[in-house]
Amino acid sequence: MAENAETPTTSPRAIDAPAPAADSTTPTGPTPASRLWWAIAAIGLIEILGQRVIESRVAPRDEWQEALAAVRAEWQPHDAVVVAPLWADPLLREAAGELVDRPMAGHSDLAAYARLWVVSIRGHRSSEAPEGAPELSHDYGRVRVERWSLPAPSVVYDLVEHVGEAHVTRRERGLDLPCRRLDAMGSTQGGLANGPIEGAPRHLCDPGRPWLWVGATTTMDLELRGRHCVSQHAQGSEPITTSYDDVPLGRAVVLHGGVWWERERWRNGGDVEVVVRLDGEEIGRMTHHDGDGWKRMEAAIPEARAGGRGRISVDVSAGDPEFRAFCWAASTRSGS
């Protein structure tokens, strides 16, 4: 007779056997690999949030264009426009480049202008803005436009603009040798890292030393601001002289000047001596030391000559002329 026996589904031993003891070496928290992945995810999240913050602060192109269209609609002769912060200057030029000519882009002060427009972002204020409240202020999205009226323009004669008409000489052993005028463009390799570009017209003072030329150019000062000025590299203790005949004098000559930014930043060059003369007589002198940046000097016209006309000369010299790529901007003024 067959015996019916049920097959147990669970072994008694499996039921009765105690659970294995926990291994004290088995990690109970996140593993190093999981912590790494969490860190990577957190970094990615931070980058995404940071990008969103950056994008929220960037003024789009259409807001720049709207703001500059408002400036353009009310633009008048003798207006100037600047941007704050300075690094936004390319955005200003893209939106309204026709308003920013070379003298304005490289101005030393606002004496030639009657009104100032300031286009700004992120709450920045231009260092050139007057102290009082603007007469106009309007926001175009994230771009702000402000305007101030300035004192009446005081520039009588701009020496930079008339450098092509000047006479340039270099002194050698007490003799003043004329520098040859050139009307062709020079090297196009200048710029931020290569020094001022040789413009036309310019005066070449020594073919054997092609850096000894005098002419209008744009240089970069110690703060990397563009300056429209007369390049007049020192040749040594004997000066190179730029002279202008029959200049309307006003009451003062105001001169700004500095060494090309890279050479000045090294702080190992010699001092540059600048002398302003009226009809051969010294009326002002400035010594530029590395670190001075774009330095200002004012020379008063003698009272008996104020408002008349005369010959203005600018001498530039340096005891150690190596890398003394000096550039200056000057004008006669009707007032201080």
- Tens digit of each residue's pLDDT (9 = 90 or more) over 47-60: 766 555 544 556 89
Helices H, strands E: what count in the chain? Answer: 6, 18
What percent of the chain shows pLDDT beyond 70? 85
Structure-block tokens of residue 8:
């147990």
**Mean pLDDT confidence for 308-327:** 96
Given this model, what pLDDT does residue 191 score?
A: 58
Could you tell me the pLDDT band of residue 296, with boundaries at 50, 70 and 90? very high
Positions of CATH 2.60.120 in the chain? 155-333
- Which has more confidence, 22 or 247? 247
pLDDT at 219 over 90: yes
Q: Which residues contact 28 (CB under 8 A, 6 or more apart)?
A: none
Among 20-34, 124-138, 303-317, name the one with the lowest average pLDDT. 20-34
Q: How far apart are CA 187 and CA 231, in angstroms?
A: 14
- Which has more confidence, 334 or 32? 334
**Mean pLDDT confidence for 241-259:** 98
Given this model, what pLDDT does residue 329 score?
A: 98
Q: State how far the alpha carbon of 23 is from the alpha carbons of 32, 34, 219, in Å.
A: 19, 21, 74
The mean pLDDT of the chain is: 88
**Mean pLDDT confidence for 264-286:** 96
pLDDT at 32 over 50: yes
Nearest to 83 by CA among 138, 122, 133, 141: 122
What's the predicted TM-score (pTM) here? 0.81
Given this model, what pLDDT does residue 272 score?
A: 98
Q: What CATH number does the domain located at 155-333 have?
A: 2.60.120
Could you tell me the pLDDT band of residue 310, with boundaries at 50, 70 and 90? very high
Other residues' Cβ atoms within 10 Å of the Cβ of residue 254: 22
